[in-house]
A and B are shown apart, each in its own frame.
Chain A
Amino acid sequence: MLDTLQTFMNDYGWNILALIGFSLLLLVVLLVIIAFLLLMDRKVWAAVQMRRGPNVVGPFGLLQSFADLLKFVLKEPIIPSGSDKVVFLLAPLATATCALASWAVIPVNENSWGKWVISDMNVGILYLLAISSLGVYGIVMGGWASNSKYPFMGALRSAAQMVSYEVSIGFVIISVLLCVGSLNVTDVVNAQKTGVGTTLGMTSSLLDWHWLPLFPMFVIFFISALAETNRPPFDLVEAESELVAGFMVEYSSTPYLLYMLGEYVSIVAMCAMTTILFLGGWLPPLDIWPLNAVPGLFWFLIKVVFVFFMFAMVKAMVPRYRYDQLMRLGWKVFLPLSLLMVVITAAVLQFGGFLS
């Protein structure tokens, strides 16, 4: 028995321990960053509306998210008597777990130590697509299990909305993959070291990243990411003017907290995906001395925060879409446009020979 254990530990054990250690490190850092991003979201929103935003807990309200966390955890969870209790409690867990699971393949840096990623799998992009398409289950399950009208309507809306926008996200990812030639996430970033700028004879810079040659896809991806994560202006799933709070009406305390957490984790994951696919991941904006000496993690974070800032600004400025307009945008505008762009990208790569 002891021998078996020893061989097992030698074969797998240390890898598993290292994996658990790195995963915990990633999760802790991620959650702390998200606590502050949530505060930033509220502060940006407040600034646009000329309010102060949260400013009481801690200096400049910096500890507001942690105060909210404590408050949610200490409140009484209320489970409606007519609900399907197991599914009701499983739903927020599913949301949070799926959102956190997507971070397993997101690389944050690459240097002489190796790739800074939990699992460097060769179908990483497909894994991200698969996991982001699972986010809908938490909402649908929660909406159904609440056994109440508004949550149910929210669940029905989300099922249609998230499936529609996955299609255009899939096509955007396909066109990026055509330019890269690999499904590995790290390869996607490394492929952006050369591009339009280097073809013109410049040193590696932000002109090489995919946002420039694939600009229409960048815009489509950004808007689809908003819809996929149920962010305003596409938050019809929880539209408070029509559905009170949609699928979250019956939730309170920690299950509600898990929903909010899952939502923000998947938003930041989408920001990271935008960064990796279009904004060059951890590559410096100009490959010259003072900039390329800065650790790649810093550039990665800066870009993620920049994309998140754009998410927050959109939330603050754009009025909510009506449901039929949302469906029209997804199926009649984005789907043909992204399909056309896939064909154009493939044609340019096959016959043009530039834009690699």
Chain B
Amino acid sequence: MASALFFYLFAVLAVASGASVILTKNPVHAVLFLILAFFNAAGLFVLLQAEFLAMLLVIVYVGAVSVLFLFVVMMLDVDFAELKAGFIKNAKVGALIGGVVLVELIALFGYRGLALSPVMNPSAPIPANITNTRALGQILYTNYVYYFQGAGLILLVAMIGAIVLTLKHRQGVKRQSISAQVARGPATGLEVIKVPSGGSVIPPAVKHPEAAE
């Protein structure tokens, strides 16, 4: 009974915050609602006894991906009037796509029926006397290790691509070289000048390599 209670709590909150993501006008609020939706999805995973997936969802999506979303969205300067004008202009295309998805959903539920049981698809049986994290690891890293490596390679290619597209080496920028700073000793960093009593010494112009530019 309690699990049904929590299922409906998480499900209702997930759907409501999902709807709020597209209904709120403020993009930062939309991202915050998205985070709430992720949390509720994690709660649903816990109810399915997939606690490893729940934690991964929180670590990866909430802890890293959404932070970057928020980071970008916070710096946007959104003009709501312009946004609304764009909404009216694109409404026809949006209505068409939405209509197609609606027809598909009707077809799906017409085929499958409208049963609203909390557990339509109970989780696969967990092997006895090992935790499901270990079971997941054994399947992923033994049976499917090549697919796993392949997915890793694809991600690596995407990452290198993003770096290649955005990396620019600007010329004429002062950069810190920690090893050069640490290697600097009394011989190169210090100069002892004898000052005659009563006189003065005008030090020779210090040569900075970057000052010449």
Chain A residues in contact with chain B, CB under 8 A?
Answer: 8, 11-12, 84, 87, 121-123, 126-127, 129-130, 133-134, 136-137, 140-141, 144, 152, 155-156, 159-160, 162-163, 166, 182-183, 324-325, 328
Contacts and interface: CB of A to CB of B under 8 A. Distances in A.
A136 B70 CA distance: 11
A166 B64 contact: yes
**Residue of A87, A134, A182 contacting most chain B CB atoms (<10 Å):** A134
Contacts of B58: 130, 133-134
Nearest to A144: B74
Contacts of B28: 84, 87, 144
B55 A126 contact: yes
Interface of B: 1-2, 26, 28-29, 32, 35, 51-52, 55-56, 58-59, 62-64, 67-68, 70-71, 74-75, 131, 133, 176, 178
Majority secondary structure of chain A interface residues (helix, strand, loop or mixed): helix
B2 A12 contact: yes
Contacts of A141: 32
Nearest to B75: A156
B70 A140 contact: yes
29 contacts: A8-B2, A11-B2, A12-B2, A87-B28, A87-B29, A122-B131, A123-B52, A129-B55, A130-B58, A130-B62, A133-B59, A136-B67, A137-B35, A137-B70, A140-B70, A140-B74, A141-B32, A144-B70, A144-B74, A156-B74, A159-B67, A159-B68, A160-B71, A162-B67, A163-B68, A166-B64, A182-B131, A324-B176, A325-B176
Contact of A163 (B51, B67, B74, B133): B67
A44 to B, nearest CB: 29
Contacts of A121: 51
Contacts of B131: 122, 182-183
